[in-house]
């Protein structure tokens, strides 16, 4: 008999809450093994594991939603399967097959069904796939053995206030998140470690997150915090094109929805000066979906680009957000077949 849950669904933070099970799979002798289920939150690991010393680690972030109809949906998990495979191969790890990835996602959601927040709570079940090299070695070379694990946790909005208000960002030139030909297009822990100092400094100064310029010329908009960036002007959805930006599944979805709504879409380098012409802007990703941007400050140039003058999300951001959320929650028709119904 499991203990009854005592969770305030409406006031969840974006944090970790223990659940009943996680699922695991090991790669040994050149092949992936059988899926295992465990209640342990610990990973037995040798102190010389390659993930600890040489950064052989990749992960994903995705969500399951309980819909208006009671069904539980996972959003675009095929895209997460493809992206973690690309990340793994980018740092010389064997990619887990898409079929096994999707089987593990379905399994871990079903095993932890009681932790899926109710419809209209504003919360969701966050799903974290993780792959790490576990071979014990001291030489700089790829591991021979790997662990793939997926755990889940119910979470609330990534930013306090959710979508209802805009937030300020600050441009940093002191730090680079990723180099053009580095690992920026892969979802690996090293990219996030590289952002911690800039992120902490931005938060300490009262900003929602830091904003990176391109590492090569410091002229073009790159990523904002750990999210992709987009701007709206002249009925056009504009998002940076760069070889150091993680390909966001949320951004990819918003691009499609923008086209569905009749907007033009431009993926191109976005010079900093263009911020002054934007009518709306947002950071986008799995955790926040869309975080509308109020303004972007550039301390080194002693200027501010004010995007939202009333502190509220603009009409296009609002429409995109409501459409995407409506699809995830089963409120709107899933015309692009993005959802996988895991629990009827």
Q: Which residues are catalytic?
A: 187
Which residue, 230, 179, 187, 174, is CA-closest to 61?
187
Query: How many Å apart are CA 233 and CA 219, to the nearest integer?
Result: 20
Greatest C-alpha distance within the chain: 61
């Amino acid at each position: 008999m499991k203990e009854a849950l005592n969770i305030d669904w409406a006031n969840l933070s974006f944090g970790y809450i223990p659940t009943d099970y996680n699922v695991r799979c090991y790669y040994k002798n050149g092949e992936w093994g059988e899926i295992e289920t465990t209640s342990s939150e610990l990973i037995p690991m040798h102190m010389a594991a390659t993930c600890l010393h040489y950064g052989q680690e990749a992960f994903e972030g995705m969500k399951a939603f309980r819909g208006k109809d009671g069904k539980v949906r996972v959003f675009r998990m095929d895209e997460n399967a493809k992206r973690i495979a690309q990340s793994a191969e980018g740092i010389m790890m064997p990619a887990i097959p898409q079929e096994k990835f999707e089987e593990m996602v379905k399994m871990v959601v079903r095993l932890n069904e009681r932790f899926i927040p109710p419809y209209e709570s504003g919360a969701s079940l966050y799903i974290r796939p993780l792959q790490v090299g576990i071979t014990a070695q001291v030489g700089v070379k790829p591991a021979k053995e790997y662990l793939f694990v997926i755990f889940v946790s119910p979470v609330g909005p990534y930013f306090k206030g959710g979508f209802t208000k805009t937030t300020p960002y600050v441009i940093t030139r002191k730090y680079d998140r990723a180099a053009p030909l580095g690992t920026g297009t892969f979802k690996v822990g090293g990219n996030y470690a590289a952002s911690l100092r800039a992120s902490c400094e931005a938060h300490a100064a009262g900003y929602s997150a830091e904003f990176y310029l391109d590492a090569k010329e410091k002229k073009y908009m790159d990523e904002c915090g750990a999210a992709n960036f987009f701007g709206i002007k002249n009925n056009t959805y504009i998002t940076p094109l760069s070889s150091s930006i993680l390909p966001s599944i949320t951004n990819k979805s918003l691009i499609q929805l923008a086209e569905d709504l009749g907007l033009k879409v431009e993926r191109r380098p976005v010079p900093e000066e263009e911020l002054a012409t934007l009518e709306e802007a947002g950071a986008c990703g799995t955790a926040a979906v869309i975080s509308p941007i109020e303004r972007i400050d550039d301390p080194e140039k002693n200027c501010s680009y004010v995007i939202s003058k009333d502190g509220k999300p603009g009409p296009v951001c609002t429409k995109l957000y409501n459409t995407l959320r409506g699809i995830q929650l089963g409120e709107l028709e899933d015309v692009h077949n993005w959802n996988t119904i895991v629990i009827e």
